[in-house]
Amino acid sequence: MTIAGSDSGGGAGIQADLKTFSALGVFGASAITAVTAQNSMRVGAVHLIPAEMVAAQIEAVFADLPVSSVKIGMLGHADVIAAVAKSLAQHSASGIVLDPVLIATSGARLLPKEALDALVTLLLPRTRLLTPNLPEAAALTNSPIAMNEAAMITQARALLAMGTRAVLVKGGHGAGSQSIDLLVDADGVTRFASERLDVGEFHGGGCIFSSAIAACLARGWPLGTAIAHAKHFIARTIAAAPGHDLGFGARLLNPDRRTE
């Protein structure tokens, strides 16, 4: 199940999540937290869904389907965060992958600063895996953006102290010939590396990566295996991304079975 915002351009959010679930062979359900007027260039408008409607969607899914993992993306505001946390607690939801969507690729802020406290206090303690990129990890820990792996580990451990069971700090915004992601949990630090692809700016990568991890967890895979497979999947998706003849802004990604 994905709990996230809708992207009218199809490159991120609910649309990207459901495409990813399908590509990885799991059935996807959803609860929409916001409707955005969005494309590869910008977020033009955001309509937040009332918290009670978000909760009703979650209830409808859990009442009928055997939910084995949950991906959480854009939440929009503190009331929705509270409703999501309460609903997931009521259903003892497991396999929660939280992608802390704070700012869109275009630069639009998608979660008000005042809602960060609710995210940390209400959702992190229920989370199996938190997947911040470098700017998000910095914002959540009130730190400068990590410039090396030691700083990434320090921020991940600060996030572990907030209650999440594991943190995957994603290095896609970093520099160097490799894209390094670091998994930090009670067992230590695990390093995931892949070649950094020179394809320019792209849209939806974080959504697809976290959804791929959730899909692999739904298939019963251990966390490390799920992350490794998801990293391979997102790398192939980026490499296969259409050129700039599709959209005028950031490159759009299109996960499908051929990229697994």
What are the two backbone dihedrals, phi and then psi, of residue 29, each rounded to the nearest 5 degrees?
-115, 170
**How many alpha carbons lie under 13 Å from residue 68 in its C-beta half-sphere?**
13
- At 91, is the pLDDT very low, low, confident or very high (cuts 50, 70, 90)? very high
What's the rounded mean pLDDT across residues 197-201? 74
Assess whether pLDDT exceeds 90 at residue 249.
no
Task: Note the helical H segments in the chain.
Answer: 13-23, 51-64, 78-90, 116-118, 134-141, 149-160, 205-218, 223-239
Assess whether pLDDT exceeds 70 at residue 104.
no
Average pLDDT score over the chain: 91
**How many alpha carbons lie under 13 Å from residue 13 in its C-beta half-sphere?**
29
Assess whether pLDDT exceeds 60 at residue 107.
no
Amino acid, single-letter form, for residue 53: M
Q: What was the pLDDT predicted at 89?
A: 97
What contacts 85, CB < 8 A, 6 or more positions away? Answer: 122, 123, 126
Task: Give the chain's domains with CATH numbers.
Answer: 2-133+201-259 (3.40.1190.20)
Model pLDDT for residues 69-81, shown as the tens digit of each residue = 999 999 989 999 9
Beta bridge partners of 36: 7, 46
What's the rounded mean pLDDT across residues 165-181? 84
Question: Which range among 14-28, 76-90, 246-260 shows the weakest confidence by mean pLDDT?
Answer: 246-260
CA 169 to each of CA 55, 166, 174, 206, 237: distance values in angstroms, whole numbers, following the listed order: 29, 10, 11, 11, 20
The separation between CA 257 and the C-alpha centre of its own chain, rounded to angstroms, equals: 20
Q: What was the pLDDT predicted at 198?
A: 73
What's the rounded mean pLDDT across residues 18-29? 97
Q: What was the pLDDT predicted at 246?
A: 77
What's the rounded mean pLDDT across residues 194-219? 90
Assess whether pLDDT exceeds 90 at residue 183.
yes
Q: What was the pLDDT predicted at 32?
A: 98
What's the rounded mean pLDDT across residues 209-213? 98
Residues 44-70 as b/e (b if ≥16 CB within 10 A, e otherwise) read eebebbebeebbebbeebbeeeebbbb
Model pLDDT for residues 126-160, shown as the tens digit of each residue = 999 999 999 999 989 999 999 999 999 999 999 99
- At 218, is the pLDDT very low, low, confident or very high (cuts 50, 70, 90)? very high
Model pLDDT for residues 34-58, shown as the tens digit of each residue = 999 999 999 899 999 999 999 999 9
- At 106, is the pLDDT very low, low, confident or very high (cuts 50, 70, 90)? low
